[in-house]
Structure 1
Amino acid sequence: MTQMLRPLPTLTELLENASVVSLPLTTRFRGVDVREAVIIRGPEGATEFSPFVEYGDEEAAAWLAAAIDFGWAPAPPRLRDSIPVNATLPAVGESEVEAVLDRYQGCRTIKIKVAERGQTLDDDLARVHRARQLLGSEGRIRLDANGGWNVDEAEHAIHALAEFDLEYVEQPCASVDDLWEIRQRVKYMGIPVAADESVRKADDPLDVARRGAADVLVVKAQPLGGIHSALDIVNRAGLPVVVSSALETSIGIAMGAHLAACIPELEYDCGLATAALLTTDVTADPLVPTGGRIPVLRPELDEALVRQNGAAPDRDEWWRERLGRVYAVLEGWSQSTGRHAAPAAAAPAAAE
């Protein structure tokens, strides 16, 4: 079961210790040019609340649960002190691939965005081909379609891209039913199917594993309610996992690194190097890869950088109002379940 946590800090305590930051990206990613986040100073260290702006309050409440978990509860014991990480290649043109990958020192694995809206399979082929050229024959390439294909499109694309020796294909289709179907169609090719959105955005994050619709689960600490809640899901899923980020600052990345450090079997490089996509950060020692790894630690906030990257007054107000609304949702969960995690993560049905 999900670990019982101490009572919620008050909303006043959260707001008094919060700073809203706005960090430009080096390359447009997931339709985002600037990443906004709320950094909160907790008794265990700095923590982060950064659900994407289009998410509703109910979905964002799991992200606030994660922030409180990391800032107010000790992290579980670590099994490792550093995490192997993959480079992340946005849906850039072929000519931009090398410049992006140069930011990921020593990474042996590349996750490549495909199925970008407004692009074609030829664009994907060119991007993946160039990445394979730069990586060499021994490196690993995984694809992430973010549910952008239907089953037939996914089958066609995977066939076309298979020549580049794929480690796995992440969320090729949006629904669990379609993931199950495409997994059956490509199983003979030996290319695993990984699930991301079907875990972190699902009412039941274990449904995809229970139905045999994926070979690998991608887990993210913030969307799953924090380290303790995510560990509970990992333990019950019975599948290999990849711990990934949600385009966070180094504070959010640290949350993911602590999650990865607690997982006994960590077979895959983790998607925790996306701080390399930011032009600046909130710490003087950002968690960017060295030798293909990042350390497991709690970064110290650089208050000068926090002030320098402070959001505009209207965005600061928007995030503080949002935090208050989301806190009310989380408070309701806490009163009804005794937990800070989203009910779906601890629902009895998810344990079947």
Structure 2
Amino acid sequence: MDLAYERLADRMHVVSLPLATRFRGVESREVALFPGAAGWGEWSPFLEYEPEEAARWLRAALEDADLERPALLRTTVPVNATLPAVAPSAVAGVLARYDGCRTVKVKVAERGQVLEDDVARVAEVRALLPDVRIRVDANGGWGVDEAETAVRALEHFDLEYVEQPCASVPELAELRSRLRRLAIPIAADESVRKASDPLLVARAGAADVLVVKAQPLGGVRAALAIVAEAGLPAVVSSALDSSVGLSMGAALAGALPSLPYDCGLGTGALLAADVTPSPLVPVGGSISADRVAPDPALLAAHAAAPERVAHWRERLAACLPHL
């Protein structure tokens, strides 16, 4: 393992990219990038993730760097705008970064906020963009009763779906039963990508839509297999990746047999800097499904501090036994 570690550590480039808008409580995004025989792969599990979970992300990065991607069925992917849990006065400025997007995903259930904040944020989106599709994402932040109350408070905004309103699969199943008459679909994200069994939510009848992310599921091929076996419509999303990571997600979306929803791959618009001079940000509501290679000058300009590189090397060593 020491030799394997040294080889990977020598390949790894760690960068810190500033955000244009505070997101998930952070103002910059650290990612690790690996060059390989097929291109570049991104490893960017959030810093709080334990080695076993982060190792799935590493497996995806190395696969993407070293193996050719599955054949594309489409070369561009429609994407949604992602709106963090900002005040209504900040909504217009954030949405202005997303060119031509027909769908907005609104973050809700933020710690320290209340339902009235969520309603005001969604109302501002609807007022600014009367014809846009709106989906909300609670990241598992509500209990069943809270979620039912929230969805009923938001239903008149004509929601496309509610993403991960509750944390557990039984809670999602209960909420889906309660909301059946409203005909508002429930999408599962964390119950897929953070689960020991990503198919459980589908087998339990607890969701109408799967949100799939290439890195957390172990790579494009693993994610394609999960979608095929689940038999549910899928939305491909990202985890605030650089353009290298977003291109992996776009490759997944481009290879899916059907793509009924706009994908959550427009989050490059939340970055104030990237590793390529032509970042994957929405243009006319879509992004390219082509590979992205980082620019050496930008890799150097955004290189993480030595102590942060040391931290990522420690993470790498901790994850290798779980590959």
C-alpha deviations, 1:310-344, integer Å up to 9, x for none? 111100100011112212221xxxxxxxxxxxxxx
Match of 2:120 in 1: 126
TM-superposed deviation, 1:166: 0.2
Q: Does 1:231 align with 2:203?
A: no
TM-superposed deviation, 1:287: 0.2
> For 2:79 and 2:313, how far apart are their aligned partners in 1?
33
Unaligned runs of 5+ residues in structure 1 are 1-8, 331-352
Match of 1:92 in 2: 86
Q: In structure 1, which of residues 64, 71, 75 is the aligned counterpart of residue 65 of structure 2?
A: 71
C-alpha deviations, 1:161-188, integer Å up to 9, x for none? 0110000000000000000000011110
Match of 1:334 in 2: none
Match of 2:17 in 1: 23
C-alpha deviations, 1:250-296, integer Å up to 9, x for none? 00000000000010111000000101101000111100000000001
> For 1:268 and 1:317, how far apart are their aligned partners in 2?
40
Q: In structure 2, which of residues 236, 241, 250 is the aligned counterpart of residue 257 of structure 1?
A: 250
Match of 1:117 in 2: 111
TM-superposed deviation, 1:66: 0.2
Contact 1:256 1:272 in 2 (8 A): yes
- Mapping 1:48-59, distance limit 5 Å: 48-59=42-53
Match of 2:152 in 1: 159
> For 2:277 and 2:209, how far apart are their aligned partners in 1?
34
Match of 1:221 in 2: 214
What RMSD over aligned residues (CA atoms) do the two structures have, in Å? Answer: 0.9
SS at match of 2:172: helix
Match of 1:343 in 2: none
> For 2:185 and 2:57, how far apart are their aligned partners in 1?
28
C-alpha deviations, 1:118-168, integer Å up to 9, x for none? 0011111110000011121x2100000001110000000000001100000
> For 1:278 and 1:53, how far apart are their aligned partners in 2?
18
- Mapping 1:304-319, distance limit 5 Å: 304-319=297-312
> For 2:169 and 2:26, how far apart are their aligned partners in 1?
26
Match of 1:44 in 2: 38
TM-superposed deviation, 1:28: 1.2
TM-superposed deviation, 1:13: 2.7
Q: Which runs of 4+ in 1 moved over 6 A?
A: none
> For 1:48 and 1:202, how far apart are their aligned partners in 2?
21
TM-superposed deviation, 1:11: 2.8
The amino acid of 2:266's aligned partner reads A
> For 1:170 and 1:310, how far apart are their aligned partners in 2?
34
> For 2:62 and 2:230, how far apart are their aligned partners in 1?
24
Q: Does 1:103 align with 2:70?
A: no
Match of 1:349 in 2: none
The amino acid of 2:315's aligned partner reads R
Report the number of matched residues. 321
Contact 1:83 1:270 in 2 (8 A): yes
The amino acid of 1:96's aligned partner reads A
TM-superposed deviation, 1:238: 0.2
Match of 1:185 in 2: 178
Question: What is the TM-score of this pair, normalised by structure 1?
Answer: 0.90
SS at match of 1:246: coil
TM-superposed deviation, 1:78: 0.4
Question: What is the TM-score of this pair, normalised by structure 2?
Answer: 0.98
C-alpha deviations, 1:44-68, integer Å up to 9, x for none? 1111111111110000110000001
State percent identity of aligned pairs. Answer: 60
Match of 2:315 in 1: 322
TM-superposed deviation, 1:12: 2.7
The amino acid of 1:29's aligned partner reads F
More moved, 53-62 vs 295-304: 295-304
